Amino acid sequence: MASTSHRLNRVIWILAGVAAILIGWQLLSLFLPPVYVASPAASLRALGRLAWGSTLWIQVLITLKRLVVGLAVGAAGGWALGIASGLYARVRAFLEPIRWVGMTIPVVIVAGLAALWFGLGDFTVMVVVGLIVLPTMFVNTVEGIRAIDRDLVEMGRVFRFSRRLLLREVYLPGIASPSIAGLTLATGIGIRAVVLAEVLGAASGIGHAFSRASSWLETDVMFAWIIALLALMALIEFGVLRPVRRRALRWRKAEQ
């Protein structure tokens, strides 16, 4: 009963937060000219026009493809390098300067250089997303490895666990939560990166469509693309990341 009440209370506060955003948005549209802020109603009408044809779906699928591929490559690379760095101090020391560079250079510079080197297109956008999300996944994985109870590691060594068995029985369950948290954070960063890369280095996708609407001062269309982007993030968050998180936590509890 207490759990149900807690969930209901949480849902109420989430809905209150959504309502606050909508009310603030509506108030801004009342006090500012439409060229600056489109009202929620005008944005939804523009979204409906985009959805009625094929424009919305084509651009969303293009962005989703670039995001998924770039995120998969960047997250997998960060996860693998994070495990190696967590297990081996020398690897961690070697990768630390590279990690620092990767987390310091702004996305706009990475996107600009990628467009210069690789031209416009899918590959450029996916490279930008992969390079941006890799350090985030790397840091979360390293911290997850280092936060594992050292007594568990020593116990595995006392019982002469092989490195492979130690990785499977101790390290992987221990980094499940940090890895999923890192993937969630990396996804949010990846969405911003893919849109920026599409603005600077692509001729299609949500970012390109947003930039085009901005050039024509189609404010309602710009806000419609923002709504589409938020819906895409919600689909990934609630349709993929949260189920994966629940499964990972169940697996961790089963292993323990």
| DSSP character at residue 161 | -
Superfamily for the 38-255 domain: MetI-like (1.10.3720.10)
How remote is the C-alpha of 139 from its chain's centroid? 15
Q: Which of 200, 196, 180, 87 is nearest to 142 (CA)?
A: 87
Q: Where are the alpha helices (DSSP H) in 89-175?
A: 89-104, 107-118, 122-146, 150-158, 163-166, 172-174
- Report the chain's mean pLDDT, rounded to a whole number: 84
Average pLDDT of the residues in 120-135: 89
Is the pLDDT at 85 greater than 80? The verdict is yes
* Cβ–Cβ under 8 Å, residues 185 and 116: no
* pLDDT for position 28: 93
Rounded to 10°, the helix 219-236/206-215 angle is 160
* Range with the largest mean pLDDT of 139-148, 225-234, 245-254: 225-234
Average pLDDT of the residues in 165-176: 69
* pLDDT for position 3: 65
Global pTM reads 0.83
Is the pLDDT at 161 greater than 70? The verdict is no
